[in-house]
Structure formats: C-alpha cells, structure tokens
Amino acid sequence: MATPKLLVDVHTHVYLPRYASVLRSRTVAPRILTRSSGPEGKSEERLLILENEPSGGRPVGAQYWDRDEKLRFMDKHGIDISVVSSANPWLDFLSASKAHTLANELNNDLEQYCSTSPIISETRLRRLYGFGLLPLVPEVAISSLLDTVQQISRLSHLKGIIMGTQGIGKGLDDDALDPVWEAIEKAGLVVFLHPHYGVDGKAWGEKDNGHVLPLALGFPFETTVATTRLILSGVFDRFPSLRILLAHSGGALPQLSSRLASCIDHDPVVASRLKHDARYYLGTSLWFDAVAYGSEELGFKGADRKIGSKRMMFGTDHPFFPPLSSSEKWASVVENLDAIDGVQGWTQHGRDSVRGGNALTLFNLHN
C-alpha cells in the first residue's frame, strides 16, 4: 500500500495522567497547584515547572493530559500523526529508584495511549506514536537505563526516547553514558533532545519580560551547548548510527556550526580528536524539528548547512504556546506550516518531506 501524504507532528507533548498526579502531590517545583482567580474565586490549575518561574507558572488543563484533546487539536490543524513525548522536566527531580519505576509505568501508559489510538484509513498506521522515557537521574545504575531501553524497544508504538541535557548529572558528554548510546543505537530508537533548564538566568536582567527570554533564547542555547558537547565528546564517531532529533531546530547550532568547526581546528586540545569536520555530524547524526516559526530560519539552514528539507520535520510544541485570545487555529501551528511553505529554494517534494515524509522514514512508519 502506498502511504498517502501525511502531516506528522514530531514535537508535541503530554503530561500523562499518572505524571500529572505526581506533579499535583508536590509542594515544590515542578508541581501543579490550584489557585483561585477571578471575581468569583474560580479555581484554576497552574503548572510551575521551575521555582521562581515568571507569573507563577502557566495555566494547565485537559489539553495537557487528555488524549481526546490531543486528537481534537490534531483534527483542527489537519495533523494526521503525532509522535508524542512527555514534557519537561521528565523524571529529573526523582530519586533513582522512583525514576526507574515511574519511567517503566509511564512508558507502558504511553504505549497504551498510542496503541489504542485510531487507525488512519487506507493505511496500517495509527494516529499516535511516542517517545519513551529513561530514568536519567544522578546515581541511577547504568543497568537500570539499559533495562528501560530494552523495555521501550519492546513497546512497538514507542519509536524513540525523549531526554533532557543533564544525563546522569554530568551532561550528555559523560563517558559513563556510552553503554546507553550503544543500546539506543542498537535498538534503532531515535533520541529527541529537548531543553528544560535554559542558561544562567542572571543574563536576563531584572525587568519582568515574562517567559520570553528563557523560552526564546535560554531553551535553544541549552540545546546548542548540549549538542556541541556531544559532538566534541566523539559520541557520533563511536556510535555513527545514533540518530538525534534536536528540538527547536537545533537552536543556534546550525548558524554557529562553521564557527564551531573553525574553533575546533584552531584548538590544540581538540584539533585532532574528531574523525570529521564538526559540520559533518549535522548531516549524518542529527535531525531538526521545524519549530522555528520563520522561513528564513529554516531556509538558512537549508541553504548552506547541508540540513535542508531532508533533515527537518514539522512540529508544534503543543500544548505549549496556546493562543492568547480565542482563535480558530493556533498561530504557533499555522506559523510553522507557513514557514515550511515559504522557504525559498525548497521543492514541493522537499516541503512534503518536511511536513511528513522525513518523519515516516526516520521513525520507520511505513505501511
């Protein structure tokens, strides 16, 4: 059966009900708290991801955990398939044993969420697939991480693993993680690398600018640094079939990759460490979501950074970025679709690949 042209969202999140209950039970961030607001004292739930978050966190509701809401959102925007991932901060705040247990439970929950989703007519594909979770916290036994990679690889609707940048406390360039990269590579799972902590908040100054600086700049810089450290550690030379999808189009890495290559070449500590020029890994080990909101940003990467329409994939970051006033469609979705349509120099085939074809290939979602 030929697979029809599908719109596939590779960057879309959920707080599974079991995870939301854990957040509700907490008294420090990350937590979900209930507060009364409005003249009638109506209560609303708010999500506080980091302590001291601007505006006391953000309102949360069913769109964060209810699968029907996800499917309704997909229908409204013409999205055929979503590859859903747990949202930050994952299991980062738990002890090793709690993180291991919850990872296993949440992976099973997500498999259930996906495997019972509707089938797309005329295909054997379902509407939902997922990224599992590893208990990536300090002091976890490597064997616990390897067991969880095996668990995820047995859950047939989970196609990868979402992770933050902390690893088991020393970042992702920690040599102790080599067995984990090896197991992920062998299982053929895709890593979705996603930020949470941003960069040192002192850089944001004292003005109240809402969430803008940490979200627009801190998040992508965190991804940029983590990915650069991975490149410098030689992980992609040791595990050349490892596939990593970078959130928010890889942050500033594509724009800075030639500078990075030059700095490496001029640095006596690392000049001969890597098998390839740093830019090489952008075209072999790394994939990029198209959550950049502008054609110029997508096109710049395509023009001369060897990324182009072959390595990019549509994403929404749902349920984050809801419209501030009621609107038919979410601007965050429409802008990302318009950006794909507007890239100068991409062919129609290239645009279709970014809208869905690349994801079907990367996640092996063929009929």
Residue with smaller CB distance to Zn ion, 144 or 223: 223
With contact defined as beta carbons under 8 Å apart, do 133 and 107 qualify?
A: yes
Residue 279 C-beta: closest distance to ligand URA, Å: 27
Peptide bond into 319 cis (omega under 30): yes
- Distance, CA of 61 to CA of 340 (rounded, Å): 30
Residue 331 C-beta: closest distance to ligand URA, Å: 15
The one of ligand URA, Zn ion, none whose footprint includes residue 33, by CB under 5 to 8 A per kind, is none
Lateral strand order in the sheet of 243-246: 8-14, 81-86, 128-132, 158-163, 190-193, 243-246, 286-289, 312-313
Residue with smaller CB distance to ligand URA, 10 or 87: 87
* Overall size of the chain counted in residues: 367
With CA atoms as reference, report the closest residue to 351 among 82, 5, 2: 5
The one of Zn ion, ligand URA, none whose footprint includes residue 334, by CB under 5 to 8 A per kind, is none
Could you say whether residue 13 binds ligand URA (CB under 6 A)?
yes
Residue with smaller CB distance to ligand URA, 22 or 260: 22
User: Under rule CB under 6 A, which residues in 74-93 are in contact with ligand URA?
Assistant: 87-88
The one of ligand URA, Zn ion, none whose footprint includes residue 49, by CB under 5 to 8 A per kind, is ligand URA
Residue 156 C-beta: closest distance to ligand URA, Å: 25
The one of Zn ion, ligand URA, none whose footprint includes residue 227, by CB under 5 to 8 A per kind, is none
Could you say whether residue 317 binds Zn ion (CB under 5 A)?
yes
Residue 11 C-beta: closest distance to Zn ion, Å: 6
Could you say whether residue 289 binds Zn ion (CB under 5 A)?
no
Residue with smaller CB distance to ligand URA, 9 or 317: 317
Residue with smaller CB distance to Zn ion, 9 or 317: 317
Residue with smaller CB distance to Zn ion, 109 or 317: 317
- Distance, CA of 257 to CA of 278 (rounded, Å): 7
Q: Which residues does 40 contact at the CB level (< 8 Å), separation at least 6?
A: none
Site size toward Zn ion (CB under 5 A) is 1
User: Under rule CB under 6 A, which residues in 274-333 are in contact with ligand URA?
Assistant: 317, 320
Could you say whether residue 163 binds ligand URA (CB under 6 A)?
no
Could you say whether residue 16 binds ligand URA (CB under 6 A)?
no
Beta-bridged to residue 119, according to DSSP, are 126
Residue closest to Zn ion (Cβ): 317
Exposure class string for 147-186: b at 16+ Cβ within 10 A, else e: bbbebbbebebbbbbbbbbbbbeeebbeeebeebbebbbe
Q: How many CB atoms lie within 10 A of CB 234?
A: 16
Contact region for Zn ion (CB under 5 A) — 173-181, 227-235, 309-317, 339-347? 309-317
Binding pattern for the stretch 207-246 against ligand URA, x by CB under 6 A and - elsewhere: --------x-------------------------------
- The encoded tokens of residue 29 equal 């961030």
Query: Residue 43 to residues 54, 214, 322, 365: CA-CA distances in angstroms?
Result: 20, 27, 20, 42
Residue with smaller CB distance to ligand URA, 127 or 196: 196
Residue with smaller CB distance to ligand URA, 13 or 31: 13
Residue 276 C-beta: closest distance to ligand URA, Å: 31
Residue 215 C-beta: closest distance to ligand URA, Å: 6
Which stretches of the chain bind ligand URA, using CB under 6 A?
A: 13, 49, 87-88, 215, 317, 320
Which stretches of the chain bind Zn ion, using CB under 5 A?
A: 317
